[in-house]
Structure 1
């Protein structure tokens, strides 16, 4: 088992993240760079909102969603899929319309969808969680060309990720309350193989939130309540930590023409008035130079 203590030689001093969009998100999440739009999309789960940020023009637009929204990904038909509490919906920004496609957990009304990624083959991998953050009712699913399956990983209260290695053969998935990040091998057809512990976040460092993998195969994770994002090499060794002026960092995404800008979503959730006064930028979208490029995104064929 790997414990995430900062090793000798790991970089503690890094770039200073800057707020690039003030949205005051209650629970900002799911940032994703969509190349066809040259824009970053992300959600505010508790604010029931989808946001689009165009950094070249420095403009943003928002859409209200019919319920809690955990993630947004582009689809092969030029539209988007969003993970609402009621299931996966097709989202058309032009008409601001939502149409239900799949309801994988209609039998679990206390659950909601929480995070997602798209594989090189167009498969959508996503997780669910107990909205009350108590029961171990969160599962990992794979949706591809109309077929949605629970992949059979052990349930946890709050799933985060999944994220995929550059070759698409390793699936990283997070048990947030347990502070564990796991890795599971994948066959070429997406069938799961052996699961092992990738790393554990130590007490006092926050909770691992959304994971993202860069072009060098290293994994980044936001730390909810930890004031930082961290980067781990493929062996699970902590090699970098970047500190933020806000406590709750949820996830990063690589964007820009060369995918060399890191965008980070943050959250106001759980902060009292004193904390909010001390963290006026909580809930904003941040950007920083990660010193490495990200992986090209994919469109979902669902």
Structure 2
């Protein structure tokens, strides 16, 4: 059992990795072989890949928004789009529908955030963009493209992540400000023992995207909270990293040793006064961490 400090850790220096000016930057994922950070701008229907060494950022635009994605064991990406899932065989190809397009007849819903488990299954949540009903849900996508409903009754299913052993899963219904944890069975792909890992105070930011590190601690980006936080496996607040913007959306880890945190942010919805206060809103920020993050498990389909 790793011991954790009783006092919150000091905040590291935060840098602008890419001044992307994203409307809704989201879903950063480190591709170790390419040494690139993939990410999306959901509101602009864009998929990006960023090379921190050269500063180059390449972009693909699609007919639908990409809420999130997973790297594939066979190469390319699995995209979670507005209507359903699609395979992108390589960077230059066109997306090909994969499995049932289960949101195609639901204009208020799109896929939002997801993560792959150690067995190569993809866990993806949806969002009700119009906030018209609590009909967003968490789904499990098999390697064959079969989609199973796991949990419903949400507005924004977010923050999906597994710990290193695959035995703990976290996600959030973001407007509830509650980060949920579950016992996960890597063999069967089932969840049990739902509990609240951490209840964030209303009015100080709500849990958006998150990632586990190698010690089993969970990092959460607090949208409209201007910070990311590190929680112990028991939900204790261990560290707060303050950002110069109010709308961080997701944190993931990259670099050669996965000791560089990357945080996507958003500028959509900020008025001119707010943007003048936050000139780097929509940027990707980075900072060093002592405990490495986890490699991204590839989708097996």
User: Do the two structures share a fold, i.e. TM-score over 0.5?
Assistant: yes
1:292 aligned residue: 291
What TM-score does the superposition give when structure 2 sets the normalisation length?
0.94
Task: Supply the distance in 2 between the matched residues of 1:284 and 1:92 (Cα, whole angstroms).
Answer: 28
- Residue 82 (structure 1) aligned with residue 88 (structure 2): no
Q: Which runs of 5+ in 2 are unaligned?
A: none
Deviations 1:97-145 (A, max 9, x none): 1111132333423100001111111111111110113421111111122
**Structure 1 residue corresponding to 2:23, chosen from 22, 26, 29:** 26
Question: 1:152-174: per-residue Cα shift (whole Å, max 9, x none)?
Answer: 32421001021112110111011
Assess if the C-alpha contact under 8 Å between 2:135 and 2:152 holds in 1: no
**Whole-Å separation in 2 of the counterparts to 1:119 and 1:31:** 17
Contact 2:141–2:148 (8 Å) recurs in 1: no
What is the CA-CA distance between 1:16 and the residue it aligns to?
2.4
- Which of the numbers 45, 48, 55 marks the counterpart of 2:45? 48
> Contact between 1:104 and 1:148, CA under 8 Å: does it hold in 2?
no
Q: How many residues align?
A: 295
Contact 2:76/2:91, CA 8 A, preserved across alignment:
no
What corresponds to 1:199 in structure 2?
198
Which whole-Å CA distance do the structure 1 matches of 2:135 and 2:152 have between them?
A: 9
Q: Distance in 1 between matches of 2:55 and 2:92?
A: 23
| Mean CA deviation greater in 196-205 or 238-247 | 196-205
Q: 2:178 maps to which residue?
A: 180
Partners of 2:91 and 2:226 lie apart in 1 by 36
Instruction: In structure 1, list runs of 5 or more residues that go unmatched.
Output: 1-6
Equivalent-residue separation in structure 1 for 2:131 and 2:230 (angstroms): 26
User: 1:204-230: CA deviations, max 9, x gaps?
Assistant: 211110011001100000011001000
Give 1:84 deviation, angstroms: 0.8
Q: CA deviation at 1:38?
A: 1.2
Q: Secondary structure at the match of 1:139?
A: strand
Partner of 2:163: 165
**Structure 1: 4+ residue segments shifted above 4 A:** none
Task: Kindly report the root-mean-square deviation, in angstroms, between the aligned alpha carbons of the 2 structures.
Answer: 1.5
CA-CA distance at 1:8 after TM superposition: 6.8
Contact between 2:50 and 2:58, CA under 8 Å: does it hold in 1? Answer: yes
Give the 3 Å change call, closer, same or farther, for CA 151–191 of structure 1 in structure 2.
farther
Q: Which residue of 2 aligns with 1:4?
A: none
Q: Tell me the TM-score normalized by structure 1.
A: 0.93
